[in-house]
Structure 1
């Protein structure tokens, strides 16, 4: 990095933190600190919702995903606009009418304290892990490519977020989200046009898409019904719908964004804005990745993008084999560049030369084969190594091909995205701990100042937990891929609880509690058994929570008091046995 990059990166981050801290300091009551005094306009709600979901992983991984697999990942978001409509019609009016601080307060009014506590604890577990991941994932990639100390980066990102989130609460998160989204989208748009400018002069945008399409990068829709396929139109509409419905409707990190809206209408407009813009935004980010792929048709790319793995293999006995593959890749790249120029020349004359087309496809297939052989060598050196290098593609392009100054801006984009999602997570974790746990454990009237101070203290606590988790992240495998998977494991069950609460009055508290508890344990078993793609866990979790609670309620209604006690004890025994089995399994897995 050049001095100009450092200046742009430092000034951008410090401005966001200082602005957020100074603009919103001095919150004196709980409503102002947690709900921003319900003064947030709709467009700020919309931007804040988008910034909360758009973590650094989105801007690191998504272009790399498109580079390798094309635009098909956009199907993941097809269910999101439908979910926004359902939330606007059902969830938002109820939350505002009851004047709740957290989504889980509603569950106590509908069911009882233990149902509220179960949902809150599930949220704290998955969001606590998720917040640590939003810090760790960009830190591990940046430290690998820039040579920066990983733990120092974890602490730096976490500390910056803690400062303004503690100071201003929800208002600080909402205010900084506006600046962060401006930095993020400005950086991505500028990068897109620079990539286009870097392509050969004779290559039009339309012809660039033609080259991408020739290599199957523009296949957006997949109608396959294979349950093992991760991204199809069906997983997007069904699994993506349930995931979005649970995430935006029941996850406090999102609920808190639109609970701060000025009115029901303002909150609804903010979510509709997100529903309208989210799919185009993700499509645009994927398109950047496709253009990076086209760029590398005319420039050489490394055999493997993760420098940690490259360094490891270059110190091993497989160095010569790896170097041989690199030599072959250079030959393929040189021929591919030549064929690409010839193909573009033909396209420029409105002629799609099938021979050149097929040759280009063959060369890219050969390149994929070489990369696969490289991954196999890396696994021989270290069986636990993460050989999926998709997350390193875009940052490699940024650091090696973008001009001075813009590198600093793009790194500011990545840091801003990490900070925006982490801040929302910490804010929601602190609010849930304060309102749903602390206030329940220590009942009685408490002054606003006391609750504000406790919420600030919980913000600091969860911030330190997230940093600690991030610093010990190297003890776990495949963390970067876990963000959506962790959500899918837990979101379905919580969504099932809320759907019952909203729509099925027949089911009462005890049946709902035990049904949801059993459903969550079953989902963990299903995930570990790798029976279906993780997106289907959202559908399955919600269905199990509803189905089991309905079945238990029917058994309770038809049972005598003695049989009712037996059923409760059976449920408790099943939960204890399954919990013990799962805990034992994970302990054995850790020490294996």
Structure 2
């Protein structure tokens, strides 16, 4: 998305170019390349994020306390909800229950993560690697989201496009677009003046007016998305993943722009390379070696892993080219993961905790439970129950154990 925005490339072409680059260096270097590049990429990411935060705080017309208070009043800091509601995507219960099962599966069973522990020189080093995942990952993700809140406050004072996707500017001569833009300009100026007035005494009356103006702005932006979908359906109207890019390109010094582009590109390449390496490894070890070539030379296994890396790279590029951007990319990753992670965790839980359950019962349980999980998410069953994706993780795991236990009694241990 970043390169396509900066260079004016088609997003499909950009996916193919970057996907091919990552596939090639993963294919040539394997786990060692993934490990070494990720060390450098992490270093770049941390420097870039700290610089982005420092610069945006410097540019804010409000001090940090007022910025936090304003964003909180606007609902941007509602990090924790204690309401128990299965249709509520994010609350403390879905985090502790659904999130715990999600991360148990991700950090405990996903080859893309487990391969990092397996390359440790000792058990102690592997445990430290797992520990540092939490020590670095959680603060880093919190920090990135916090920068997003500051960008929101910053854009309360700066005129922004109605849609952050640069391609949407092709509609700027459209009559309906111009009318919406005029309404937005008026709202933006009024909102900016009211924020300045609110800053002096933190008046609740002014804040209420600001919320009304913000709601009107949201409606206008949604109308613009509908217009884009109608007049230019080839343009991606979901612009959430373009917001930070717009800030980087338009408000940061040139050198910092290059660094932050490298930051986001590093993050994308880092995750992609580890996934490709994990897919190739599991394909070679669990399928190719076990079923087709149980006794060949290590060199031939190496060549097979390179071939499978190339194959999975092509598959990944195909999906990147054809998949929608969803609501936002981070959420898309967790939704897709939640469709499968509960079942995967259930398999491992059976292996470790229920040794009396055999392979045949477990395999049939996978074939039964996985379609149920997918149906629970995609079927329109709102009149009965509406589940948000985090809940699919504990449901998938517990269903796996329950169904496998039942089938074991019927099929017997293999």
* Distance in 1, Cα, partners of 2:354 & 2:23: 40
The superposition leaves residues 300-344 of structure 1 with CA deviations (integer Å, 9 ceiling, x where unpaired) of 122222233453x557xxx32221111111111112222222333
**Alpha-carbon distance, 1:422 to partner:** 0.8
Q: Kindly tell me: are residues 434 and 187 of structure 1, through their superposed partners in 2, closer, same or farther at Cα, counting changes over 3 Å?
A: same
1:31-72 Cα offsets, whole Å, 9 max, x none, are: xxxxxxxxxxxxxxxxxxxxxxxxxxxxxxxxxxxxxxxxxx
Q: Do the aligned residues in 1 keep the contact of 2:360 with 2:411 (CA within 8 Å)?
A: no
**2:127 is aligned with 1:277:** no
8 A contact 1:386–1:478 mirrored in 2: no
Return the match for 2:345 from 495, 506, 527: 495
Shift of 1:142: 4.0
Q: TM-score, normalised by structure 1?
A: 0.65
Gaps of 5+ in 1: 1-137, 558-563, 569-592
1:142-541, aligned counterparts within 5 Å? Answer: 142-144=3-5, 146-200=7-61, 203-311=62-170, 313-314=171-172, 319-344=174-199, 346=200, 351-381=201-231, 387-471=237-321, 473=322, 478=326, 480=329, 482-530=332-380, 531-541=386-396
After TM superposition, the score normalised by the length of structure 2 is: 0.91
Residue 275 of structure 1 and its aligned partner are, at CA, apart by 1.7
Question: CA offsets, 1:326-365, max 9 Å, x none?
Answer: 1111111112222222333x1xxxx433333333223222
* Stretch deviating more after TM superposition (289-298 or 223-232): 223-232
Cα displacement (A) at 1:292: 0.5
8 A Cα contact 2:38 2:270, kept in partner: yes
CA contact (8 A) 1:157 1:415 kept: no
- What is the number of residues matched between the two proteins? 407
SS in 2 for 1:405: helix
Alignment partners' CA distance in 2, 1:520 and 1:397: 41
The alpha-carbon deviation at position 253 of structure 1 amounts to: 0.9
In 2 relative to 1, CA 389–529 (structure 1 residues): closer, same or farther, beyond 3 Å?
same
Assess if the C-alpha contact under 8 Å between 2:229 and 2:237 holds in 1. yes
For 2:254, what is the secondary structure of its paired residue? Answer: coil
Counterpart Cα distance in 2 of 1:174 and 1:552: 42
Q: Distance in 1 between matches of 2:233 and 2:403?
A: 40
Alignment gaps of 5+ in structure 2: 381-385
2:383 corresponds to: none
Tell me what 1:68 maps to: none
> 1:71-150, aligned counterparts within 5 Å?
138=1, 142-144=3-5, 146-150=7-11
